[in-house]
Structure 1
Amino acid sequence: MTDPLGPVILFDADHHMYVLRDRGSAEEWWEMPDDYVCGFDALARPLRMAGEPHQVTLELTGDEPAEADLRRLVAGHYRRFLRGQAPPRSSDLSVFVAELPVEGS
């Protein structure tokens, strides 16, 4: 299996979305694996997080994209936390992902 392609989109237990530049920056930035609920790479392939506090790793769970799940979770994040802002609407996945707000940008 290949490595996840960045950016990676991660969701925590409170349904907050975090878009991080790539796998390495996500593994450095994310502290507690127990806070992680789900995530996707730039191709909407699901990610699994493992490891100990301050030493997490991300890996793909398969090669099949879960684009509908990613779009649903992004829309939920915007509804809950970014009221008044519309999530990306492009039908093209690469454009959709590119329009997400990357942490630290």
Structure 2
Amino acid sequence: MPTPTAPLILFDDDHYMYVLKDQAFAEAWWELPEEFTHGFDALARPLSMTGEPHGIHLFLTGEAPNEAELRRLVATHYDRHLRNQTPPQASALAEFVAALPREGG
């Protein structure tokens, strides 16, 4: 299976979104695998997480993108956590992902 395309967009069990610069950073940064609910790479391909606390691994679960689900989860994050802000409105996926706020520079 190919490597996920950076950045990675991960969601926790509180519907909070984290946009992490690449797979290595995400795997080092994410602490508890049980808090992970959804994840996507920059091409909107779904991710899964395995491992133990402070020792996780992310991998693609398929080649087919799910852009509609990614956009829906981003909108949910903004509705719950960034109420005074509007999610990116770009129609192109690359522009949409580029406009998401990043964790850890």
Shift of 1:58: 0.2
Partner of 1:94: 94
CA RMSD after TM alignment: 0.5
Once the two structures are superposed, residues 74-103 of structure 1 have per-residue CA deviations (whole angstroms, 9 ceiling, x without a partner) of 000001100110000111000000000010
Q: Structure 1: how far apart are the matches of 2:78 and 2:70?
A: 12
Partner of 1:28: 28
Partner of 2:40: 40
Shift of 1:104: 2.1
Partner of 1:18: 18
Partner of 2:104: 104
For 1:47, give the aligned amino acid: L
Partner of 2:59: 59
Once the two structures are superposed, residues 15-74 of structure 1 have per-residue CA deviations (whole angstroms, 9 ceiling, x without a partner) of 000000001100000001000001000000000000011000000000000000000000
SS at match of 2:73: helix
TM-score, structure 1 length as denominator? Answer: 0.98
For 2:92, give the aligned amino acid: D
State, as a whole percentage, how many aligned pairs show the same letter: 61
TM-score, structure 2 length as denominator? Answer: 0.98
Tell me the number of residue pairs that the alignment of Structure 1 and Structure 2 aligns: 105
Moved beyond 3 Å, runs of 4+: none
